[in-house]
């Protein structure tokens, strides 16, 4: 700690922030503890108690990290927080417009509320969609607006995205929906930000006027961090080729820019101090212009320290400077520690420093750096995005120099364009355009190579263990010359080998040992989607949910992320209970993106448009299709599925009443799945003498009045009932149905209120929890 105090301070600050994120401590207790240890530290320093001083400093830094996180939580829960006004109808908000410099071309703008319904508000931003605002708003406008405020949506399904957590880390506590005109009342001046916004808009205009789409959007992403309009195919090519980092403004881009600036200032033969001043000014403007991204901020701090250190006859230490950047980053926003951008920018740089020298002995310089970056980024990318792209090593050999040339030429074009537009025109149309075409063609080719590997999300403790080993190994592999050190080194290498072996064995055993039967009822709004994970490792899906937006299904945003997260690449059986869109549409997404062993559909309604689309995909992918009939029987290990109802050809029943009804049995546990079947089907099931008694019942038709009769509920006599439902205009679930369930004293679980419902059973006892309860 003595040799690199800032680096160690950053580590202990990170430790404190991490503790604060996972455990709650009263902020007033933390303040008292901080005052106490600061007083103790001052006393130890005055008395020269060096040994005790270090311990007190470490504790104080950890407590500071805890305090920073708890302060963010305290702001959210404060009576002056905008979060306190979420829900409960329309509000009149007086606030200041804040533009997002990281995404100036995006649809989102922010409102810093000052008053809500006449009450003072101090904490939190409101996110607005400017596509629904007629007025032209600029940064600093004080506006009076009518809004419906809502809490950003939380993660309600395993593997899905939490908008609430994402926005909370950015200081956004509410989403606002404009319900009336926006009136400007005042303008608050921010002269520096105004100049930088104006400059960025001018640069964007320059790019748009000199390059055609999509090349203008790619350059805006590469140089200014504007990815809002980046074509999806370019994003996909870079991602699959293992070079997605090139599209996100990072330390690499700052490195290109610094090299370009050093070359330019040396041409003018300015004194060193003036050279450094101009580069510093440029980097500060660039950091602000790109929205204070962690990667740009980190690279900017490192560049400035290494730039100015020789001027003051000092030697810059890499790890100490890295610690300084991290401390500043975290003091500005402690929650940025839990953003993937922050984690990647620091981890990748550390791995390049630790591993490139070792790998260089066996590989070339460029390959060694690319390999070290891949080694540092792969675990964290697999954790967040469920993918590893080894092809990235080869891609980056040629892509990094080419991207560097593109960025450098573009920045020169943008700078000279401020002098006269003709300079930009020449550089962009004669050089940048053709370089971009070459870059795009290369990425498209590399993306076609089948080297991207989809992986399940590793447990957090495994991830931490992997990074611990990978960071520790370079110190063990360092060349030693003293015999005693060599002996110790060999012993440490043996222990490292044992640890790696244990990690591999643990990961293998986690995949081999049979688990319990797991049944997940996903929160897919007004629809049904169920995945059943069998103890023998097979997987069954019943329905796939419906539309989410005009262009995406619930399966895109809920089921596929879950399957990737769990590493499930094959669904052995997919059941479609009936062909209503809220049940069957998402199955299309699954058929297109996953291997399916067998598709089971009901007897009737095979001529519907949706059914024909599903069957066409099944035919194209050679997926066997089975038309189920009443009495069909499926078995996998100790799990049995029996079809109680599947509709009858020529039946006068409605589509809902022709739903597949099936019963799952595993030991003493039974689950009855009823699709959208109505009271007619329930009556026929009771009359047929089927053994309906089940521990858990999925209420038919989202709790509709047309289903779940009192007689049927008494016949099934479930201990728990599950209602898969979302916001709807039909009044589901019906109050009378809820009363009937209450009469049989069954517990009610609702996906709209509790998120995904998860059942685990060993065939004797079962446990049922909501995802929100678990998280």
pLDDT range class, residue 371, cuts 50, 70, 90: confident
Position 503 scores a pLDDT of 66
**What dihedral angle (degrees, nearest 10) is formed by the CA atoms of 714, 716, 718, 723?**
-100
Q: Which residues make Cβ contacts (< 8 Å) with residue 82, sequence separation at least 6? A: 113, 116, 121, 123, 124, 125, 126, 149, 173, 174
Average pLDDT (593-616) is 91
CA angle 467, 472, 474 (to 5 degrees): 110
DSSP classification of residue 336: G
Average pLDDT (537-545) is 96
N-terminal to C-terminal alpha carbon distance within the chain = 37
> Tens digits of per-residue pLDDT, 19-38?
999 998 999 999 999 999 99
pLDDT range class, residue 491, cuts 50, 70, 90: low
pLDDT range class, residue 633, cuts 50, 70, 90: very high
Model confidence at 212: pLDDT above 90? yes
Cα separation, 542 vs 675, whole angstroms: 9
pLDDT range class, residue 710, cuts 50, 70, 90: very high
Average pLDDT (406-431) is 93
For the four alpha carbons of 188, 191, 192 and 198, in that order, the dihedral sign comes to positive
Position 620 scores a pLDDT of 96
Which of 558 and 507 is assigned the larger pLDDT? 558
Helix or strand run (H / E) with residue 529? strand 529-533
pLDDT range class, residue 437, cuts 50, 70, 90: very high
Model confidence at 652: pLDDT above 60? no
Mean confidence (pLDDT) of the chain: 90
Average pLDDT (325-347) is 94
Position 245 scores a pLDDT of 84
Position 488 scores a pLDDT of 64
Position 611 scores a pLDDT of 93
Cα separation, 728 vs 546, whole angstroms: 13
Model confidence at 198: pLDDT above 80? yes
Which of 316 and 217 is assigned the larger pLDDT? 217
pLDDT range class, residue 506, cuts 50, 70, 90: low
Cα separation, 683 vs 680, whole angstroms: 5
Model confidence at 486: pLDDT above 70? no
Average pLDDT (615-620) is 96
What are the strands, taking DSSP E only, across 260-400?
387-388
- pLDDT cut 90: percent of the chain above it: 70
Which of 252 and 755 is assigned the larger pLDDT? 755
Q: Which residues make Cβ contacts (< 8 Å) with residue 320, sequence separation at least 6? A: 4, 5, 6, 7
Q: Burial of 144 by CB count in 10 Å (0-12 exposed, 13-18 middle, 19+ buried)?
A: middle
Position 490 scores a pLDDT of 64
Model confidence at 592: pLDDT above 90? yes
Average pLDDT (581-601) is 96
Model confidence at 366: pLDDT above 80? no
Model confidence at 651: pLDDT above 60? no
Average pLDDT (362-373) is 82
Average pLDDT (200-223) is 95
Position 469 scores a pLDDT of 84
Hey, what are 277's tokens? Answer: 């001043």
Position 161 scores a pLDDT of 92
Helix, strand and coil percent figures for the chain, each rounded to 5: 55, 15, 30
pLDDT range class, residue 487, cuts 50, 70, 90: low
- Residue located via tokens 């025109």: 425
> Tens digits of per-residue pLDDT, 375-408?
899 999 999 999 888 888 889 889 989 999 999 9
Could you tell me the pTM of the whole model?
0.89
Position 313 scores a pLDDT of 87
From 265-269, 372-376, 568-572, the region with the lowest mean pLDDT: 265-269
Q: Which residues make Cβ contacts (< 8 Å) with residue 127, sequence separation at least 6? A: 108, 109, 110, 152, 167, 172, 174, 175, 176
> Tens digits of per-residue pLDDT, 272-292?
899 999 999 999 999 999 998
Model confidence at 482: pLDDT above 80? no
From 2-11, 46-55, 329-338, the region with the lowest mean pLDDT: 46-55
Model confidence at 510: pLDDT above 60? no
């Amino acid at each position: 700690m003595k040799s690199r105090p800032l680096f160690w301070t950053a580590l202990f600050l990170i430790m404190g922030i991490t503790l604060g994120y996972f455990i709650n401590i009263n902020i007033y207790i933390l303040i008292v503890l901080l005052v106490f240890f600061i007083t103790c530290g001052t006393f130890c320093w005055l008395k020269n108690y060096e040994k005790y001083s270090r311990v007190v400093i470490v504790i104080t830094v950890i407590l500071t990290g805890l305090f920073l996180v708890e302060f963010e939580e305290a702001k959210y829960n404060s009576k002056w927080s905008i979060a306190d006004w979420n829900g409960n109808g329309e509000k009149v908000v007086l606030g200041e417009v804040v533009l997002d410099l990281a995404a100036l071309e995006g649809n989102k703008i922010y409102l810093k509320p000052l008053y809500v319904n006449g009450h003072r508000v101090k904490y939190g931003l409101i996110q607005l969609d400017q596509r629904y605002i007629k007025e032209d708003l600029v940064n600093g406008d004080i506006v009076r607006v009518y809004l419906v405020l809502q809490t950003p949506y939380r993660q309600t399904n395993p593997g899905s995205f939490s908008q609430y957590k994402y926005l909370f880390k950015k200081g956004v506590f509410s989403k606002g929906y404009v319900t009336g005109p926006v009136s400007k009342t005042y303008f608050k001046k921010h002269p520096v930000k105004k100049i930088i916004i104006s400059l960025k808009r001018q640069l964007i205009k320059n790019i748009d006027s000199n390059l055609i789409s999509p090349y203008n959007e790619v350059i805006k992403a590469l140089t200014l961090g504007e990815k809002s309009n980046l074509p999806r195919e370019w994003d996909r090519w870079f991602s699959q080729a293992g070079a997605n980092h090139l599209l996100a403004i990072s330390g690499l881009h700052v490195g290109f820019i610094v090299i370009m600036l050093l070359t330019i200032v040396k041409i003018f033969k300015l004194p060193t101090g003036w050279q450094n001043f101009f580069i510093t000014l440029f980097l500060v403007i660039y950091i602000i212009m790109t929205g204070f991204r962690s990667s740009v901020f980190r690279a900017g701090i490192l560049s400035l320290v290494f730039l100015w250190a020789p001027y003051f006859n000092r030697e810059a230490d890499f790890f100490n400077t890295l610690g300084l950047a991290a401390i500043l980053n975290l003091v500005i926003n402690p929650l940025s520690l839990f953003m993937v951008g922050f984690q990647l920018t620091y981890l990748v740089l550390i791995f390049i420093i630790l591993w490139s020298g070792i790998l260089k002995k066996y590989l070339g310089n460029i390959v060694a750096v690319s390999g070290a970056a891949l080694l540092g980024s792969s675990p964290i990318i697999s954790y967040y995005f469920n993918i590893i792209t080894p092809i990235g090593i080869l891609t980056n050999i040629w892509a990094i120099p080419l991207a560097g040339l593109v960025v450098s030429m573009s920045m020169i074009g943008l700078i000279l364009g401020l002098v006269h537009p003709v300079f930009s025109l020449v550089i962009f149309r004669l050089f940048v355009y053709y370089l971009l075409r070459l870059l795009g063609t290369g990425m498209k080719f590399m993306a076609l190579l089948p080297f991207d590997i989809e992986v399940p999300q590793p447990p957090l403790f495994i991830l931490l263990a992997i990074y611990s080993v990978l960071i520790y190994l370079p110190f063990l592999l360092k060349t030693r010359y003293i015999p005693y050190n060599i002996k110790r080194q060999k012993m440490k290498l043996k222990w490292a080998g044992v640890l790696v072996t244990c990690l591999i064995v643990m990961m293998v055993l986690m995949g081999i040992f049979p688990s319990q039967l797991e049944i997940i009822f996903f929160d897919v709004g007004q629809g049904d989607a169920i995945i059943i994970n069998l103890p023998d490792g097979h997987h069954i899906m019943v329905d796939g949910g419906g539309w989410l937006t005009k262009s995406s299904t619930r399966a895109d945003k809920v089921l596929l992320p879950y399957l990737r997260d769990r590493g499930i690449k094959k669904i052995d059986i997919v059941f479609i209970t009936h062909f209503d869109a809220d049940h069957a549409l998402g199955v299309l997404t699954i058929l297109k993106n996953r291997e399916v062993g067998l598709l089971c559909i009901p007897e009737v309604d095979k001529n519907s448009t949706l059914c024909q689309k599903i069957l066409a995909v099944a035919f194209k992918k050679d997926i066997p299709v089975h038309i189920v009939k009443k009495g069909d029987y499926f078995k996998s290990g100790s799990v049995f599925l029996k079809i109680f109802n599947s509709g009858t050809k020529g039946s006068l029943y409605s589509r809902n009443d022709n739903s597949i009804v099936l019963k799952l049995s595993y030991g003493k546990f039974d689950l009855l799945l009823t699709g959208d079947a109505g009271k007619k089907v329930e009556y026929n099931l009771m009359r047929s003498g089927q053994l309906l008694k089940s521990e858990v019942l999925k209420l038919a038709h989202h709790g509709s009045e047309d289903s779940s009769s009192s007689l049927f509920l008494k016949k099934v006599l479930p201990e728990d009932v599950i209602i898969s439902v979302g916001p709807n205009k039909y009044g589901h679930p019906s109050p009378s149905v809820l009363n009937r369930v209450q009469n049989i004293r069954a517990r009610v679980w609702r996906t709209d209120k509790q998120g995904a419902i998860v059942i685990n059973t060993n065939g004797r006892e079962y446990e049922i929890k909501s995802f929100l309860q678990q998280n």
